[in-house]
Amino acid sequence: MRPELGGIAFPHARLAVRVHRRRKQTGRRESRETAYAVTSLDAHQTTPAYLAAAIRGHWTAEAQHNIRDRTFAEDASTVHTGSAPRAMASLRNLAIGLLKTLGDDNIAKTTRAIRDQPERALPLLGITNNPDTYGT
């Protein structure tokens, strides 16, 4: 630990950043919070704009994980071996990306609708179940 950093356990820390965030969800009051970030960059190696972009990028990934976990219970998954966890995350990302591309703004609601009526999933992928197409 470096005493000049107040005893925090970040041996390569060079710069700490305080981030004030405000969030307003539809129909709710605005919430405010302060978060802190630590970087190994010195102040002359970066800019506030770069740090802001890096923090936003981190929260973009966190938001994606939040959707995967809350909608698909990813953290409770029992898939742990080989490349299966990465493959499952990719499939979840594919489903989320598809629904977002189609303009869906409530992934959880749509996945519940598909769970309850699985026949709704194939048309989203451009697949139809029309027996006349196959000559039968």
Q: pLDDT tens digit string along 17-48? A: 999 988 887 888 999 999 888 899 988 999 99
pLDDT of 135: 52
- Share the mean pLDDT of the chain: 84
Return the biggest CA–CA distance within the chain: 78
DSSP 48-113: HHHHHHHHHHHHHHHHHHHHHHHHH-GGG----STTHHHHHHHHHHHHHHHHHHTT-S-HHHHHHH
84: confidence class by pLDDT, cuts 50, 70, 90: very high
| Mean pLDDT, range 38-65, rounded to an integer | 87
Counting residues of the chain whose pLDDT is more than 70, the rounded percentage is 88
Whether the pTM exceeds 0.85: the reply is no
Reported as a pLDDT band with limits 50, 70 and 90, residue 65 is confident
Q: For 1-8, what is the mean pLDDT? A: 59
Helix then strand then coil, % of the chain, to nearest 5: 55, 15, 35
